[in-house]
Copies of this chain bind each other. A is one copy, B any other.
Amino acid sequence: MGTAGSFGLRPIGVIRSNIRVRSQAPKQGAEGAPDCWLEVRSRVARALEGLAVGDHILVLTWLHRAKRDVLQVHPRSDPKRPLTGVFATRSPDRPNPIGVHRVTIRRMVRNRLRIGPIEAIDGTPVIDLKPVLSISEE
Residues of A within 8 A of B (CB): 1-2, 5-12, 28, 30, 44, 46-51, 55, 57-58, 60, 62, 64, 71-72, 83-90, 94-96, 98, 100, 102, 125, 127-138
Contacts and interface: CB of A to CB of B under 8 A. Distances in A.
Contacts of A62: 7
5 contacts: A47-B85, A47-B94, A50-B84, A50-B89, A60-B98
A128 B71 CA distance: 12
Contacts of A89: 50, 131
B133 A88 contact: no
B9 A85 contact: no
A124 B133 CA distance: 21
